Structure 1
Amino acid sequence: MTTPAAHTPPPGARAYPLSTARGDFAVVDVPVAPGVAPRGTALLVPGFTGSKEDFRLMQGPLAARGYRTVAVDGRGQFESDGPADDETAYAQHELARDVLAQAEALGVGLHLLGHSLGGQITRAAVLLDHSPFVSLTLMSSGPAQISVSQQQRVKLLRDALTVMSMDEVWEVIQSMGAPEEVGGPARGIGGADLLRRRWLGNKPAQLIATGRQLSTEPDRVTELAAVRLLFHVLSGVRDDTWPLPLMDDMAVRLGAHRTVIEGAEHSPNAEQPLPTARAIADFWDTADPTA
């Protein structure tokens, strides 16, 4: 169920195209709340079929804790441009380089957070170059490919995108079940008009390419654990995309802080934004951006 706050940007929020060496990316940039001492800046990367709006309900509470947050639409997502038909533009290493370009535009000493697919893209970015970041939070994002049941859903979506328009696929999605599952919008981020407009803004090649990535991603946890960075693995109490034991084990392998948000499933940022923001800020408070 959405709330009025889901439709309203946080106080002081600015929506603008962030200019980078790899092009412009649509962002919502929320400054630290007035009268609060700044503690850091974070780059927030959404997941499959997602957008910067997925973090809207968290950005205000994080501003109140002293954190500027910049939520981004990735290449070919919602309000960020990208080719409609060229899947090579959405290879994981290309999307990872986009994240590094966004970080370069914002400055060093960033906290990095990726939700679901965004977690695997941010992981790839950190493996290319971790120097801009002081921490990485993997939210509802597992160590390797998604579950078999979700692979089947993604394949249905990818197959549909090859023969149907985005508008036609949207109508199919609405009939497939719970919208917060892969292939549909997360709860809590806005009304039906926003969700439909966001879907239609996605480039088909981006969805096809990233859906394939989710279904074939290898386990790179050992590689990531070798990086000198603070890690946080956060999830809800239930997740059909990556079962919780997989995320529990990943946290152990990374030596990561582990948070489970009560009352949340695959989208804690939208389903339980206040406790999720609190847990994230508590983790960020343990990091020193000047270290």
Structure 2
Amino acid sequence: MSRPSTFVPPPGARAYSLRTARGEFAVVDAPAAPGVEPRGVALLLPGFTGSKEDFNPLHGTLAERGYRTVAVDGRGQYESAGPDLDEAAYAQGELARDVLAQVEALGTPVHLLGHSLGGQIARAAVLLDHAPFRSLTLMSSGPAQISPSQRERVKLLRDALAVMSMAEVWVAMRAMEAPEELEELDGGLDEREDLRQRWLATKPAQLLATGAQLCVEPDRVAELAALPLPFHVLSGAHDDTWPVALLDEMAVRLGAHRTVIEGAEHSPNTDQPLPTARAIAGFWDRAARP
């Protein structure tokens, strides 16, 4: 599970519900910093079990570089509504159309960034219609299905959700975590409660459907590479969801800019936010040039 450093929006950011043609979506919207020339708008999609708060550590640096960043809870994630039990509502095509509706509601072309599962949803949206996007960044998001060890973890979660409530699964997951993982929660009890509330608010059908997607996702890199968009593949130096070597190969196939963040693993946005934000802004700067 991704662990944002804080659930409080950064200074200057606003949390609200973005109204779209496909419903309302909870967002954290951080404008470009005062006195800085605006350089563009970006839409940020979180990963599996994540939320818009996963991007809180990035907003400030990106704002200073002139970028308005809008992080969104997808359908059924945390504070965005969705059905509890209807897995069909979370089919990848439906989630991709949600992204297109979000961009339409923002009213301007955007740089699109997706983390992990969010990267595969972002890819699906771009393949439906690339016109609203200025670039695509795939952060810790691979070319096809997740690694065998992660597929096993998703199977365990699906099996648990078949017989247990979200609250019961939360207790079971916490009991399985190693002591050093618990010590990483710098916010102490408050942060643990924030993570618990996020988990409880997420719709079980969303987790079941998107978890299944991650386990069977086909390789669509060739389709993506055919589009006239700038691509960026960014990851930590270690990743157990998609091996880093596989992400290197995907970047070559896409003709993408490649960034590896030292000292980071599957969530460079929270592991090493400053170099991650700088790398993202640098790519966006280059993508805006003729």
Q: TM-score, normalised by structure 2?
A: 0.94
2:217 maps to 1:230: no
Query: How far off is 1:178 after superposition?
Result: 6.0
Q: What is residue 253 of structure 1 aligned with on the other side?
A: 253
Long gaps (5+) in structure 1: none
Query: How far off is 1:179 after superposition?
Result: 10
Which 10-residue stretch deviates more, 5-14 or 96-105?
5-14
Distance change >3 Å, CA 81–CA 99, structure 1 → 2: same
In the alignment, is the contact (CA less than 8 A) between 1:188 and 1:270 conserved in 2? no
Query: How far off is 1:172 after superposition?
Result: 1.3
Alpha-carbon distance in 2 for matches of 1:179, 1:113: 32
2:278 maps to 1:278: yes
Distance change >3 Å, CA 178–CA 268, structure 1 → 2: farther
In the alignment, is the contact (CA less than 8 A) between 2:114 and 2:139 conserved in 1? yes
Query: How far off is 1:10 after superposition?
Result: 1.4
Q: What is residue 122 of structure 1 aligned with on the other side?
A: 122
Alpha-carbon distance in 1 for matches of 2:130, 2:179: 34
Alpha-carbon distance in 1 for matches of 2:108, 2:220: 24
Alpha-carbon distance in 1 for matches of 2:227, 2:218: 18
Q: What is residue 153 of structure 1 aligned with on the other side?
A: 153
Alpha-carbon distance in 2 for matches of 1:242, 1:61: 27
Three-state SS of the structure 2 residue aligned to 1:6 is coil
Query: How far off is 1:180 after superposition?
Result: 12
Alpha-carbon distance in 2 for matches of 1:229, 1:177: 40
Which 10-residue stretch deviates more, 213-222 or 6-15?
6-15
Query: How do residues 183-198 of structure 1 correspond to structure 2 at under 5 angstroms?
Result: 191-198=191-198
For residues 134-193 of structure 1, the C-alpha deviation after alignment (integer angstroms, 9 at most, x for no partner) is 100000000000000000000000110111000000111113336999xx9x97798111
Q: What is residue 42 of structure 1 aligned with on the other side?
A: 42
Q: What is residue 262 of structure 1 aligned with on the other side?
A: 262
In the alignment, is the contact (CA less than 8 A) between 1:180 and 1:187 conserved in 2? no
Query: How far off is 1:85 after superposition?
Result: 0.3
Query: How do residues 54-73 of structure 1 correspond to structure 2 at under 5 angstroms?
Result: 54-73=54-73
Q: What is residue 51 of structure 1 aligned with on the other side?
A: 51
Query: How far off is 1:288 after superposition?
Result: 2.2
Alpha-carbon distance in 2 for matches of 1:153, 1:9: 31
Q: TM-score, normalised by structure 1?
A: 0.94
Alpha-carbon distance in 2 for matches of 1:119, 1:179: 30
Alpha-carbon distance in 2 for matches of 1:79, 1:30: 17
Q: What is residue 139 of structure 1 aligned with on the other side?
A: 139
Q: What is residue 174 of structure 1 aligned with on the other side?
A: 174
Which 10-residue stretch deviates more, 187-196 or 91-100?
187-196
Three-state SS of the structure 1 residue aligned to 2:287 is coil
Give the residue type in structure 1 aligned to 2:248: D
Give the residue type in structure 1 aligned to 2:221: V
Give the residue type in structure 2 aligned to 1:130: H
Q: What is residue 85 of structure 2 aligned with on the other side?
A: 85
Aligned length: 285
Alpha-carbon distance in 2 for matches of 1:51, 1:209: 16
In the alignment, is the contact (CA less than 8 A) between 1:108 and 1:131 conserved in 2? no
What is the Cα-based RMSD across aligned positions, in Å? 2.2
In the alignment, is the contact (CA less than 8 A) between 1:33 and 1:66 conserved in 2? yes
In the alignment, is the contact (CA less than 8 A) between 1:5 and 1:57 conserved in 2? yes
Alpha-carbon distance in 1 for matches of 2:242, 2:77: 23
